[in-house]
Structures are given as C-alpha cells and as structure tokens.
Chains A and B, each alone.
Chain A
C-alpha cells in the first residue's frame, strides 16, 4: 500500500539512530494507545457520522423521509446552471488565497523573526485580524468597501480617483473578498512560518557566513529548504481552507451580486437552506472528491520533497 505521508524525520541523524534502535524501542516509547483517546472522539463524532451521511447523497432526504434515488442528485447537482461558475470561483479563490498567504506569510515570517524595529508591535498587528471573528471582519469590510459611503472609496476620492464597486461589481467582487481573506489569514501563516524559522539552528547560518554567503544565498539554500515543514502546513491548510470556505463570502455578499461570488460550498449551503438535503449532501461528496483530488497529490509531493533533504 502506498504511503501518503512518508515519515518526516528522515534526516541523517534520525536515520542513524533508527538503525541503532530495535523496533521494540518504538513500541515501548511511542505506544499506539496514545492514538486511542483522540481516535475514539474523532471516529465517533466526526468520521462515522460524516461518512455515514454520504449515503444520503443517493436519496431524496427531507430529514424525516428517506427515499433512495440513485445518482439523480449528482445529475441535478452537475446540471446546476451556476455550477461551472462556482467551480471556477472555487479554484480561483483557493489558489489565490493560499498562494498569497504562502508568499506573504513567509515574507512576514522572515521579517518578524529578524532584528527589525518595533518587532513586538508588528507581530501584534499582523496577527490581530486572526482574532476577529469572520462575521466581524465581514461587517467591517462591507462598510469600508461600500461604493459610495465606504472609507476606501472616500479616501480614493480625495486623490481624485473614482473607486469601483468593490463588492457590487460582478467582475471584481470575488477578488475583493480574496483580499480580505488574505488580510485575515496571513497572520496565521506568518506565525506558522515564525515557528518554523526559529527552529533552524543558527550554526547553519554561521557556517554559511564563514563561507561568505550573502543574505539571498542564506535564504535560498538554508531558510527555504529547512522551513519546508512550515510551508507544507501553510499550503495544505490554506488551500483546503480556501477551497471549501465560504463563511467570509457569506458574511460579505451572500454569494452575490446575483451569483457572481458563489463558490461550490456556498451553492451547497444554499441548497441545504432550501431543504434539499440529499442534493446538498451529494454536493458535499463532490466537493470532497474535488478537494481530495487536488490536495492528496500535493500532500504526497510536498512530503516526498521533504524526505530528499
């Protein structure tokens, strides 16, 4: 059976010690029962109900009556006129938010672990948006991005620029929400990067300095490879989050104007609200397959790279 996640600790040190130690050592010091309490909760309250619910994807389900209808829900789901737009939007949203969080998060991580002025202040403000609730962020930016009364366009007007309808222009709305999503989430990415960056032994940089390496060389040949566990984590978390998230979209536009900022998850949510439970479960299965198809190969690839270190 192919392993999805090769062990992460195959650096030289670990390899040698692995060879020295008998298997019994691992049995004794890292017992499997450590997994049990968590696995029990996770299985009973998440895995079992969630996967069992997939059965309802093949039914007309009113929450009270269940009638088996085969693949009809999937047919209906895929013939939804808004769906192709939803898929495109989902991909744009997932890729852009995650890409921007990786790049800006790493940049901020480097900056905030360096010996910069007012480091404490900067760490605090960058992380601040993570603490505010999605609904709160949505309300605030809805107000700031109002095309006429919003602070953003009023400020632009001072410079003689007529600001666009950030959330009312169908071609722009998705990107406005993406910007807010990145604003809200980049602090977390930066934090994960910071944790990864400080774990890099200083000796490496010392040695490089002796060899006469510049700042860019250091970044390229020491920081970037050694911060890879953090990168993997940020990419996976933010991409999954981006592909299935809709809370912020819901708080800011409800998927509108019209259907312009709908993503697959918000289409599903609306179906559930309309009482189409079987259909929305089918949608969840489709979304699960879609996200898995993107994430699993990526996860595999990122972890494989790691073992090459």
Chain B
C-alpha cells in the first residue's frame, strides 16, 4: 500500500509539472500580455510589465466600436443557449432510437450523419433555402442552422453511448407503465448525462466561438458575435497586441465558467454511471 501511495505521488507530480509547461505557459502568455501597454505587448515576450494597465485594457476593449463586445456577448449567449438546447435534445432522441431500434435504413442514416461531418456546408444554397422559408436574418433561423451543422457530431456521440446502457433499465421502466417520452427523459437522459454534458460543452464552445455562420446568415454590426470582436484589434495591416490578447481572454471567460460549472456534472455523471451495469 505504501508503494502505491508513493507511486501515486510521483505520477501526480510529474503530471502536474508537464501539464503546467504544456498548458499553463501558453495561457500565462496570454494573461501577461493583457497587463501590458501596446508597445510592450508588441514584443510578445514573457517580460513583466513596467506599468500594470490591465484594467485600462479591459475598459478599452469594452468601449471599442460602441461597446460591440457587450452586444457580441449577448448575441453569442442567446445563440448558444438556443441552438445547443435544441440540438442536444433532438440529437439525443435520434441517437436513442437509432441505437435501440436498428433497421435496414441504418446504413443510409449512418452515411447521412457521417456526411454531416465530412461535407463542408454550402453557404449560398443554404441562404437561398432560408430566404424561401423566411428565416434568413433571424436569430431563430441561425440557431436552426447551427443545430443542423452540429447535430451529426451529437448523434454520433449519443448513439455510441446509448449502447452502454443496459436495456434492463428500459424494460423495468416500461413495466412500471412509462411511455416512450417518459422512458427517454426519465431513463435515457439521466443515464446519458456524462455524454450529454460533453456534447453541451463541445457544441457550446463551437457555437459561441462561431463567427462565419452568423456573418453569412445574420449579417450586420448589431448581430456581431464574440469572435468578430477580435478583428477590431487585428486589422490587415496592424495588430494592437495588448488589446487583442485582452479580448481573447475576455471571450474565453464564458466558456471557462460554463466548463467549471459542468465539470462537476461530468464528475457526478461519471460516478452515477459507474454504479450501473
């Protein structure tokens, strides 16, 4: 037992050191730049700032182009919440049925799902369809596009993990008189919690950080998303490094908070999943 504890400490310490160099140093680099003035940050080194101007930088980043960052935070948040909730529920339903009830159409369905990951979407024809449906240039329309683009990933993930849930649980619930909807939301959803949280985290980051689709399908400065604000400080000819890195830091905070929040859910999901079987 003693040897185990020693080994655990050695691996742990090595892991902490390696992770610090590989993952914390680049992050630290971003953070250090946000403390500096423009010319000092432009040297792009780890040197400590002679003047600590972090709060000035934050204020400047927020003020730029009539508080575009605030607008962007609101837009990206609405878009993310809307599209990811629709995406996850619909994909989980699809993954659930596909895994539980195989049919001869599964081959075609798998192909279409994989195609969603393989083919880059065609922007112009999609815009035409949206104009026909009258959902172009609406936040709902854009959310549906994000749903369509993110769904393949989610279905693939869910379908793979539904198979790890024993069917006995379904049957027990059915005997208790549950219908298909209750079965799915009461049995399937909770047991898939770990994967669902994974999907939520991954897709939220993707949608929150998306800027190409909003640009195409919901154009206009008032519809700016967070990624777009980066270009306020990185023009074709000149980069304002201190503000650029401050902006990068600021727009990473919401996903970070979300991850910290969901991380506990993942852990919780993990332990509850471990008991079953």
Using CB atoms and an 8 Å cutoff, list the residues of chain A in contact with chain B: 1-9, 13-14, 17, 21, 25-32, 34-35, 37-39, 41-42, 44-50, 52-53, 63, 111, 113, 115-118, 120-136, 139-141, 143-144, 146, 149-151, 154, 183, 188, 191-192, 194-196, 198-203, 229-230, 232-233, 236-237, 240-241, 244, 265, 268, 277, 281, 284, 287-288, 291-292, 295-296, 299
Q: Are A13 and B251 in contact (CB under 8 A)?
A: no
Name the contact of B114 in the complex, choosing from A8, A144, A146, A295 (C-beta under 8 A). A295
Chain A residues lying within 8 Å of B45, measured Cβ to Cβ, are: 149, 151, 154
Q: Does B11 contact A (CB under 8 A)?
A: yes
What are 28 residue pairs bridging A and B, where the CB atoms are less than 8 Å apart in the complex?
A1-B107, A7-B106, A8-B160, A29-B180, A30-B180, A34-B93, A34-B184, A37-B90, A38-B93, A38-B151, A39-B94, A42-B151, A44-B133, A46-B148, A49-B121, A117-B11, A118-B12, A125-B19, A135-B227, A194-B194, A194-B270, A195-B194, A199-B274, A201-B277, A203-B277, A233-B160, A237-B117, A268-B120
Q: Are A8 and B121 CB-contacts (below 8 A) given A1-B104, A14-B167, A49-B126?
A: no
Stretch at the interface among B26-34, B49-57, B59-67: B26-34
> How far, in angstroms, from A8 to B101 measured CA to CA in the complex?
10
Q: Does B74 contact A (CB under 8 A)?
A: no
Q: Are A30 and B101 in contact (CB under 8 A)?
A: yes
Q: Are A136 and B120 in contact (CB under 8 A)?
A: no
CB-based A-B contact count at 8 angstroms: 298
Q: Does B96 contact A (CB under 8 A)?
A: yes
In whole Å, how far is A167's beta carbon from the nearest beta carbon of chain B?
13
Q: Are A198 and B16 in contact (CB under 8 A)?
A: no
Among B199-235, those with CB < 8 Å from A are 201-202, 205, 209, 227, 230, 234
Q: Does B161 contact A (CB under 8 A)?
A: yes
Q: Are A9 and B252 CB-contacts (below 8 A) given A203-B277, A229-B163, A232-B160?
A: no
Chain A residues lying within 8 Å of B201, measured Cβ to Cβ, are: 130, 191
> How far, in angstroms, from A25 to B178 measured CA to CA in the complex?
12
Chain A residues lying within 8 Å of B30, measured Cβ to Cβ, are: 136, 140
Hey, what's the 0/1 contact readout for B129-161 against A, CB within 8 Å counting as 1? 110010000000000110111011101110111
Interface residue count on the B side (C-beta < 8 Å): 110
Nearest A residue (CB) for B194: A195
Chain B residues lying within 8 Å of A143, measured Cβ to Cβ, are: 29, 44, 241
> How far, in angstroms, from A150 to B198 measured CA to CA in the complex?
34
> How far, in angstroms, from A296 to B163 measured CA to CA in the complex?
20
Q: Are B110 and A146 in contact (CB under 8 A)?
A: no
In whole Å, how far is A285's beta carbon from the nearest beta carbon of chain B?
9
Q: Are A53 and B122 in contact (CB under 8 A)?
A: yes
> How far, in angstroms, from A141 to B260 measured CA to CA in the complex?
25
Q: Are B171 and A17 in contact (CB under 8 A)?
A: yes
Chain B residues lying within 8 Å of A120, measured Cβ to Cβ, are: 263
Chain A residues lying within 8 Å of B167, measured Cβ to Cβ, are: 9, 13-14, 17
In whole Å, how far is B231's beta carbon from the nearest beta carbon of chain A?
9
Q: Is the interface of A mostly helix, strand, loop or mixed?
A: helix
Q: Are B157 and A141 in contact (CB under 8 A)?
A: no
> How far, in angstroms, from A123 to B209 measured CA to CA in the complex?
21
Q: Are A50 and B263 CB-contacts (below 8 A) given A28-B180, A232-B160?
A: no
Chain B residues lying within 8 Å of A26, measured Cβ to Cβ, are: 100-101
> How far, in angstroms, from A178 to B232 measured CA to CA in the complex?
28
Q: Are A50 and B144 in contact (CB under 8 A)?
A: no
Q: Are A118 and B16 CB-contacts (below 8 A) given A191-B266, A201-B274?
A: yes
Q: Are A244 and B23 CB-contacts (below 8 A) given A9-B100, A35-B93, A49-B126?
A: no
Chain B residues lying within 8 Å of A17, measured Cβ to Cβ, are: 167-168, 171
Q: Are A146 and B44 in contact (CB under 8 A)?
A: yes
Q: Are A296 and B111 in contact (CB under 8 A)?
A: yes
Chain B residues lying within 8 Å of A136, measured Cβ to Cβ, are: 30, 230, 248, 251-252
Q: Are A140 and B29 in contact (CB under 8 A)?
A: yes
In whole Å, how far is A60's beta carbon from the nearest beta carbon of chain B?
15
Q: Does B70 contact A (CB under 8 A)?
A: no
Q: Are A52 and B125 in contact (CB under 8 A)?
A: yes
Q: Are A198 and B12 CB-contacts (below 8 A) given A9-B163, A17-B171?
A: no
Q: Are A233 and B156 in contact (CB under 8 A)?
A: yes
Chain B residues lying within 8 Å of A127, measured Cβ to Cβ, are: 259, 263
Chain A residues lying within 8 Å of B20, measured Cβ to Cβ, are: 125
Hey, what's the 0/1 contact readout for B239-277 against A, CB within 8 Å counting as 1? 001001100100110011001100100100111011011
Q: Does B186 contact A (CB under 8 A)?
A: no
Q: Does B1 contact A (CB under 8 A)?
A: no
Q: Are B168 and A13 in contact (CB under 8 A)?
A: yes
Q: Are A50 and B121 CB-contacts (below 8 A) given A41-B144, A115-B8, A144-B26?
A: yes
Q: Are B15 and A233 in contact (CB under 8 A)?
A: no
Q: Does B38 contact A (CB under 8 A)?
A: no
> How far, in angstroms, from A183 to B259 measured CA to CA in the complex?
18
Chain A residues lying within 8 Å of B202, measured Cβ to Cβ, are: 130, 188
